[in-house]
Chains A and B, each alone.
Chain A
Amino acid sequence: MEKKNSNRKIRLTYLSGFALCLLLFVSMSASSPAPDTVILGKWEEISWEYEKLPGNPEIRADKTISDNAKREITRDLVIHQAETWEFRPNGTLVLYDSKGATLSEWTLKSRGNILKIYNGKNTPEHYNLQVLNQDEMILYFNTDLQAKGIAKMKFKKIHQENYAQKIQ
């Protein structure tokens, strides 16, 4: 009788433990939207900076990346000269620059912290999605320029109403 009670108690403890884990998972995942939905929409590029730059401290003091350097860094990249990025739900990424728009494909990897961009011609490019919320997106990527620095790209989300106001 005592053994039966003990078994029941253990079973109950284990079940409660697993149920608690499930509850934790559900409540955490419901607390914020998935990155692949947050990223959808239009993003305007605000700034380019070096997050990490080895070398002379004087050079390191100013981390802003000039337009020339930016052109040099992105010369062989899909995102070359793109000013506005539009992530569509079907996995298409539209990159707008002063000349027009180009199409690529996007997908998120790992836990949603790696952005993969592929245009079918070059090898896929991977960017580290450091910050992603309803208003701001920060991407990091390694660049060979300036002895392997880490470039930081900041974006601001173009909300539909803002965009409509801008057009008007």
Chain B
Amino acid sequence: MLRKFNNSRTTRENIQLGSLTAFSAGMVNVTSVIIFFAFTSNVTGHYAILAEEISKGNWYQAAVVFAWIFMFFAGNFCSNMIIINFNQKNTYAAHATPLILEILCLLSVGTYGAFFYGETLGETEIMVGLMLFAMGIQNGLTASISNFSVKTTHLTGLTTDLGLLTSMFTKSEYRQNKALRAKANVLYAIATSYVTGGIFAGVVYQQIGFMVFYIASMVICVIIFYEYYMIRLKKMVWRKKRKNQGYKTPAMSRT
């Protein structure tokens, strides 16, 4: 999921990465709507609200929304900065670091919310900003490493693509195109995971409150550790192969 970059990625890897990150994004978005009455995984609505608040002359509210949009931008910026600067040195580390940052943000919100949140407006605004930053990081990472084919925190572009692809599939020439079918599979998997994550969070929030963010963090952890495990496994297999080849060499030389 995290080891490969851009065009070397398979559809399966994109589905795995897209589904897991979309599941956590759905969880975060629904929870923030329930608790804070603000969307945190997409900014389209925030742009409209920013324009509305400016037109009404509500400058404080406009500033808050502007800061939220900036936090999402900053998340994407930081994520891609890490990837483009460290990808050559260690691809896995370059891709895992933004996810670790995202986990830190979500854990901060979850911990603060569960133990210290006094429901003041300032706290709400900062926590929403932090979640937008986390979602920006995630979106930046998935978009960057998948050559912009996977975006998991918002579904506007994805629904557009799905609409286009579905209409294309009315013609057999497009239905037989493997690349288009693979793309549709990735998009359907993301949309389904996002909605599932949202429903799951909506149900679970009633029982555990802010601890929902711990579960969202755990989902991200699965991506990091699965990849780490796969790297270790591949190294082990590679070493074993080398070792076996070493023993075989003399025998081969005798023949």
Contacts and interface: CB of A to CB of B under 8 A. Distances in A.
Interface of A: 21, 24-25, 28-29, 31-36, 91, 107-114, 116, 126
> B interface, by DSSP: helix, strand, loop or mixed?
helix
Nearest to B62: A28
A25 B60 contact: no
Given A25-B63, A28-B62, A111 B125 contact: yes
Given A32-B59, A111-B65, 20 more contacts: A21-B66, A25-B66, A28-B59, A28-B62, A28-B66, A29-B63, A32-B57, A34-B122, A35-B61, A36-B122, A91-B119, A107-B119, A109-B124, A110-B38, A110-B124, A110-B128, A111-B38, A111-B64, A114-B37, A126-B37
B174 interface: no
A36 B63 CA distance: 15
Nearest to A128: B37
Contacts of B169: none
Nearest to B69: A21
Nearest to A110: B37
Nearest to A31: B59
B235 to A, nearest CB: 37
Given A25-B66, A28-B66, A36-B120, A109 B61 contact: no
B70 A29 contact: no
B37 A109 contact: yes
A32 B124 contact: no
Contacts of A32: 57-60
Contacts of B53: 111
Contacts of A116: 119
A29 B121 CA distance: 14
- Determine chain A's interface SS by DSSP, over half rule: mixed
B60 A35 contact: yes
A117 to B, nearest CB: 12
B223 interface: no
B121 A112 contact: yes
Contact of A112 (B57, B61, B66, B67): B61
Given A109-B124, A111-B49, A111-B65, A28 B60 contact: yes
Contacts of B121: 34-36, 107-109, 112
B10 to A, nearest CB: 35
A158 B122 CA distance: 26
Nearest to A131: B56
Contacts of A34: 60, 121-122
A25 B120 CA distance: 20
A110 B36 contact: yes
A29 B61 CA distance: 8
Given A21-B70, A109-B36, A111-B49, A29 B64 contact: yes
A126 to B, nearest CB: 8
B85 to A, nearest CB: 14
Contacts of A21: 66, 70
A126 B53 CA distance: 20
Contacts of A109: 36-38, 121, 124
A25 B37 contact: no
Contacts of B36: 109-110
Interface string B116-142: 000111101100100000000000000
A34 B20 CA distance: 38
Interface in B63-90: 63-67, 70
Contact of B70 (A25, A33, A91, A113): A25
26 contacts: A21-B70, A24-B63, A25-B63, A28-B63, A29-B63, A31-B60, A34-B60, A34-B121, A36-B122, A107-B119, A107-B120, A107-B121, A108-B121, A109-B36, A109-B121, A110-B36, A110-B128, A111-B38, A111-B49, A111-B61, A111-B65, A112-B61, A112-B64, A112-B121, A114-B37, A116-B119
